[in-house]
Amino acid sequence: MPPCFLKVDCFEPTSFARERKMIHELDRVVLNIDLPEHHLERGHIGTVVLVHRNHAGYEVEFNALDGEPVAVVSLHASDIRPIARREIAHARAVAS
């Protein structure tokens, strides 16, 4: 890791960006927790469809890659995060 010459060089960019980025409707987000009752796993990508009280929670829609809806879930702010730079999606079949 390069030395910290400026104060901003000492921060890990993705975590610093996550703390600063506000999540809005239609943003794509990453699930931080497993939700087996909805066939969702940590790392799945969803779309915010509704923002609750001052960003305390969100309604997030998860779809299969072919567009088929998998679930719409109410989540706390800590259950999701913005997509970070240089992340890659991973495909898997969803249980019915």
| Range(s) of the domain holding residue 44 | 22-82
Assigned domain for 89 exists: no
- Report the distance separating Cα 79 and Cα 17, nearest Å: 17
Q: Give the sheet arrangement for strand 28-31, strand by strand.
A: 69-76, 57-63, 45-51, 28-31, 80-82
Q: What is the pLDDT of residue 20?
A: 52
Cα separation of 63 and 68, whole Å? 5
Total domain count, the chain = 1
Per-residue pLDDT of the chain (96 residues; tens, 9 = 90+): 445 444 444 444 444 344 558 999 999 999 999 999 999 999 999 999 999 999 999 999 999 999 999 999 999 999 999 999 999 998 989 887
Inside any domain, residue 7: no
Structure confidence at residue 21 (pLDDT): 80
Alpha helices (H) in the chain, listed in sequence order: 13-20
Q: What's the rounded Cα separation, in Å, for the pair 81 and 68?
A: 23
| 92: in domain | no
CATH at 73: 2.30.30.30
Q: Which of 24, 62, 25 is nearest to 41 (CA)?
A: 62
